[in-house]
A and B are shown apart, each in its own frame.
Chain A
Amino acid sequence: MAAIAERLTSIWEETPGLASWLTTVDHKRIGKRYIATAFVFFVLAGLEAMVIRVQLARPDQALVSPDAYNQLFTMHGITMIFLFATPILSGFGNFFVPLMIGARDMAFPRLNAFGYWVFLFAGLFMSFSLIIGKAPTDGWFNYVPFALTHYSPGLNIDFYGLGIIFIGISSTTGAINFIVTIFKMRAPGMSINRMPLFVWAVLSTAFAIVFALPSLTVANVLLELDRKAGFHFYDVSHGGDPILWQHLFWIFGHPDVYIIVLPALGMVSTILPVFSRRPIVAYPYVALSTVAVGIVGFGVWVHHMFATGLPQLSMTFFSAASMMVVIPSGIQMFAWVITIIKGRPVYTVPFLFIIGFIVTFLIGGLTGPMFAAVPFDQQITDSYFVVAHFHYVLFGGAVFPIFGALYYWLPKMTGRLMNERLGKLSFWLIFIGFQVTFFPMHIMGLLGMPRRIYTYQAGLGWDVWNMISSIGSFILAAGVLAFIVDYFFSVRRGRPAGDNPWAADTLEWAISSPPPAYNFESIPHVRSREPLWEQPGLPEEIRRGTAGPVLDEGHATVATSVLDADTEEILEMPGESSWPVVTALGMLVVFSALLVSHLALAAVGLLIMAWGIAGWLWNTGDVTTL
C-alpha cells in the first residue's frame, strides 16, 4: 500500500522550486492558482464598487470625476465577469472535475497550464489600464459608436477590445479541455447518468463557451479593425451599423450569464444533497435542465435590445424564448427545495451559503421573466432595476455558491477545516449586506433612476435608497473580509480536515486532504451515482490499489468511452513543461504591441509564440523544459 503511493509519487510529483512553479501542469496546482488569482480580482472589483457606492451615497457628490467614475464602473463589470466569475469557476472545475470523475489529470495538462497563463496575462493587461488611468469607459457591453475612435480616442477602448480577445483564448482552451476531459477521462463505470451534477454543469458551460465566445471575439476584431485599421463595420456614415455590435455582443452576452451561473448551480446541486443527507431529487431533470439552459440561453439575446426599435414580430419571438428559459431554472429550484424537505439538513457554513443562494437567486429569478414582458422591459431597461436584477442573479446565483464551495472544498484543498464561527459571521454579513445593498436598487429603478450615472440631483426620491444601498455595501465588504481572515487563520491553525469531513458522496472525498500528486492510488470502478455512499469500502480499496488499475509503470491515466465509460485505453500524460508559459508570454507581447500599434514588436511576439508552440509540439517526453 505504502509502496504504491511511493512509486506513484515518484512518477507524478513535480520537481520542487521556482522552476516548477512556472512549468507545472498539475490540474490541482493550476486550479488553486485560478481560484487565488480570480479571488484577488474579486477583491479589486469589489473595491471599485465601493468607490462607486461612496460616490452615489448622496446626490451631487464629486468624490471622483465623471471620467474616473466611468472607468471604475466599466472595470468593475469587466473584472467581475471576465476576471473573477468565469476564471474562479474554471479553477474549481480544474481542481475538482478530475477528482470527481476519478482521473489523474485533465485531458490536456499543458493546454491547461497555458490557459492559466493567458488568463493571468490578459488580466494584468486589462488591469494595467486602470493603473495608468486609461481604463475602458464604455461599460462592459461597450456600445458603438461611443467606442469608436471619433468619440473615444486614446487607448481605453483598445484595452477592452484586445483584452477581451486575449482572455477569450484562455476560456476557449479551458472549455475544450473540460469537454474532452469529461467525455473521455471518467473512471470506468461512471456512465453519463452517474456523473456528479457539478460535472454536468461544467460540461454544459464548456459547450456554451465554445459556441458563444466566437461571437464576442468577432465583435471585438471588427471593433479593433474599425479603430486601428480604418474599417467601418460599425460606422453609419460609411454604411456600417451600430446595431451589428449589439447583436454580436449579446449573442455572447446573454449565454455568458449562464456560463457564469451554470457551474455555480452545479455546485449547489452537488453540495446541497450532502448536507441534506440524501441524493438529489429528480437527478435526470436537473441534469437535463443544465443542458437545456445551455441551449435555450442562445435564443434570448434580443431581450437586451427591446428598446432599440425592432420589429414587433421579432420581439414577440424573443419574449417567448426568454420566458421559456425560466423553466429549467424552476425545475432546479424545486429539486433543491424538495431535496431539503425530504432530507435531514445539517446547518454547516457551506449549507448556509447555499440557503442564502436559494433565497437570493429566487428573487433574481422572479424579476427575470419581467424583462421578457416587452413593455415592462422597455420601461425599466437600463434603469437601476436591471442593476438590482442582475446582481441578484449573478451575486445570488454565482457568488453565494462560490463562497459555499470555498467553505466546502477548501478543507480538501488545504487539508484544514475552516473556522465555523468566523464562517457564520461571514455568511450573515454577506447575506444581510447583499440584501441591503441591492434590494433598494429595484426601487431606485422603478423611481426612474438610470444606470451608469456618476451622480444625480437631490429630491427625485432616490437619495434615501442610495444611502441605504451604500451602507449595505460596507456590511457586505465586512463579510468578505471575515472570509479572508477566516481563510488565513484556518490555513495555518485550522483543525485537520481528514479525508471526508462532510461525509460526502463524490470521489474527491475518497482520497486524502490535500490530495496526493497522483490523485488516486488506483482508478476506482464506479457503480453508482453516489459512490462513497453506495460503496463505503471504496476509499480503502483505492488506497490499497485494489479498486482498479494502478498504472504505476508511467505517467498514465485511463480513457473511457463517452456514454458508458467503458475502459478504452491507457493514456500517457505529459509532464511539466515550460512551453505553455513561453507561448502565453509571446501572446502578451503580441497584444501589447497591437495596443500601441507597434507592428515590429508584434512580429517579435509572434516569433516567441511560434518558438513556444514548436517546442511544445516537439517535446512529447515526460519532462519537457527549455
Chain B
Amino acid sequence: MRHLRARVWFLITVAFLLPACSSASPSALRPRGPAAQRIDGLWWFMFWIALGVFCVVIGMLLFGMLRRRKPDSVERGSGETAVVLLGIVAPVIILVTLFVVSIHDLNALSAPAKTNALTVNVIGHDWWWEVRYPQQHVVTANEIHIPTGKPVLLHLSTGDVIHSFWVPQLSEKTDMIPGKINRMLIQADHPGVYRGQCAEFCGLEHARMSFLVIAEAPAQFDAWTAAESQPLAATTGAAARGEKVFLHSTCVSCHAIQGTSASATDGPDLTHFGSRRTIAANTLPNTRGNLAAWIEDPQGIKPGADMPPAVLEPSQLQALLTFVEGLK
C-alpha cells in the first residue's frame, strides 16, 4: 500500500514536470519574467505545504483504518486536544505564514503609481486584441512586441465586454473592464514568443482569442517600432491592383491602413499585417493559403466573428492577397 502510494506520488511529480519541458506550452510553471517567476515560487511553496498536510491527514486516516484493535478495549480520552492542536493551532501557523508571504509577493508585483516605463495600451475586442504604442505611434493587433529585460506598463481596457489579459509565462492576469483602465507590469527576461489568451468568458469565440507576446532585444525592438510607425509605401504591379481591390471592397468599413484612405477602427489595423505571425487572433499561421481561406470564409474558421465573407473574383482575390501579404 505504502509502496503504491510512493509510486503514485512519483508519477504525479513527473506529470507536473513533463509538460513543463514541452516548449510550446504557455505553462505558468515555466516562467520567463520576474512576476511569473515570483508566482512560480509561491506555487511551489504552497505545493509542498499542501503535500505535507495531505500526507499527514492521509497518514492518520490510514492509521485509523488499518491499525489492529484489541477485541474489547475501549478508547479513552475525548480527542478534543488533538482536534484543537491539529485543526486550529497548526492551520493558524501555516495560514499566517502563507498570508505574510503572499502579501509580500503582492506588493512586489504591483505597478508603481509613477513610472517612466514603456507604455502599451491593450484593448480587448470580441474577439481580438488592439495594441497601441502611444509614444511610438504604432498600432497593431494580436501581437505585442516588448524589449527584454525592462518592465513594460500595460494599460488594459476593453471595447465591449469584459476580457482578461493573461500571459502565464510572464505575469499574473488582469481583467479588462468597461469604464476602467487597469494597469499592470509585464517583463520578459529572455527573447522569445509567449502565448497569451483571454481568460474571462467573452462570448462565442472566447476560445479563439489569443495573442503572442514577442520579446526581443531592445535594439531589435527599437527597429521594429521604427518600421511599424511608417505608413504604407507606394505599391506597384499586383500589389497596386490589390490595394485598389481593398479600397473598393467592404474591407475598408472596418480596417485601417495608414497612408491610405482606409481609416476605420472597428477591426484590426492592417498597416503592417504582413509582418504579423498569425491571423484572426492567433487562430491560424499567417500564410497566403490561410489568408485566402480567412478572407473567403471567416465564419467557417471562427464562427461568430465580426468579419463577413468577401465575394471576390479569383484574380481580384490573388491581387488582394499579394497586397495584404506585402504590408510589412
Contacts and interface: CB of A to CB of B under 8 A. Distances in A.
- Do A and B assemble together? yes
Given A66-B303, A359-B58, A307 B99 contact: no
Contact of A362 (B57, B67, B183): B57
Contacts of B42: 373, 375-376
A451 B202 CA distance: 11
Contact of A312 (B79, B106, B205): B106
Given A331-B87, A341-B64, A374-B102, A448 B110 contact: no
B235 to A, nearest CB: 33
A366 B53 contact: yes
Most A CB contacts (10 A, CB to CB) among B88, B101, B171 go to: B88
B122 to A, nearest CB: 14
A330 B84 CA distance: 10
Contacts, number: 260
Contacts of A257: none
A120 to B, nearest CB: 30
Interface stretch (B137-145, B191-199, B269-277): B191-199
Interface residues of B, number: 88
B95 A380 contact: no
B27 A461 contact: yes
Interface in A309-341: 309, 312, 315-316, 319-320, 323-324, 326-327, 330-335, 337-341
B172 A379 contact: yes
A221 interface: no
Contact of A373 (B61, B80, B98, B160): B98
B53 A236 contact: no
B75 A151 contact: no
A460 B194 CA distance: 11
Contacts of B57: 333-334, 337, 358, 362
A493 interface: no
B303 A341 contact: no
Most A CB contacts (10 A, CB to CB) among B25, B64, B86, B174 go to: B64
Interface in A447-486: 447-448, 450-456, 459-462, 464-465
Contacts of A137: 203
Contact of B83 (A282, A324, A455): A282
A308 B177 contact: yes
A174 B86 CA distance: 36
B328 interface: no
B61 to A, nearest CB: 5
A481 B109 CA distance: 49
Interface stretch (A138-146, A407-415, A549-557, A558-566): A138-146
A362 B28 contact: no
Contact of B60 (A242, A341, A447): A341
A378 interface: yes
Given A145-B160, A452-B201, A326 B95 contact: yes
A19 interface: no
Given A66-B207, A335-B83, A340-B65, A376 B39 contact: yes
Nearest to A385: B28
B82 interface: yes
Interface in A267-284: 278, 281-282
Contacts of A455: 207-208
Interface string A94-127: 0000000000000000000000000000000000
A369 interface: yes
Contact of A369 (B27, B39, B95): B95
A151 B203 contact: yes
A66 B63 contact: no
B136 interface: no
B185 interface: no
A600 interface: no
B175 A308 contact: yes
A151 B102 contact: no
Contacts of B160: 145, 151
Interface stretch (B14-22, B243-251, B307-315): B14-22
B264 interface: no
Nearest to B107: A312
A324 B92 CA distance: 8
A373 B87 contact: no
Contacts of A241: 179
Given A374-B102, A443-B19, A447-B27, A367 B172 contact: no
B260 to A, nearest CB: 31
Given A278-B75, A452-B201, A334 B50 contact: no
Interface in B194-218: 195, 197-208
A381 interface: yes
Interface stretch (B162-170, B219-227, B290-298, B318-326): B162-170
Given A145-B160, A334-B83, A379-B168, A282 B78 contact: yes
Nearest to A377: B172
A67 interface: yes
B102 A319 contact: yes
B3 interface: no
Interchain residue pairs A-B with the least CB separation, the first 3: A461-B25, A378-B172, A453-B207
Interface of A: 65-67, 70, 137-139, 143, 145-146, 151, 236, 241-243, 278, 281-282, 285, 307-309, 312, 315-316, 319-320, 323-324, 326-327, 330-335, 337-345, 355, 358-359, 362-363, 366-367, 369-370, 372-376, 378-383, 443, 446-448, 450-456, 459-462, 464-465
24 contacts: A146-B161, A151-B203, A319-B99, A326-B95, A327-B87, A335-B79, A337-B64, A362-B54, A367-B50, A373-B98, A373-B99, A374-B106, A376-B46, A378-B39, A382-B201, A446-B16, A448-B28, A448-B166, A450-B197, A450-B206, A452-B206, A453-B207, A454-B207, A465-B19
Given A379-B28, A381-B199, 7 more contacts: A146-B201, A338-B83, A372-B98, A373-B42, A379-B36, A383-B199, A443-B19
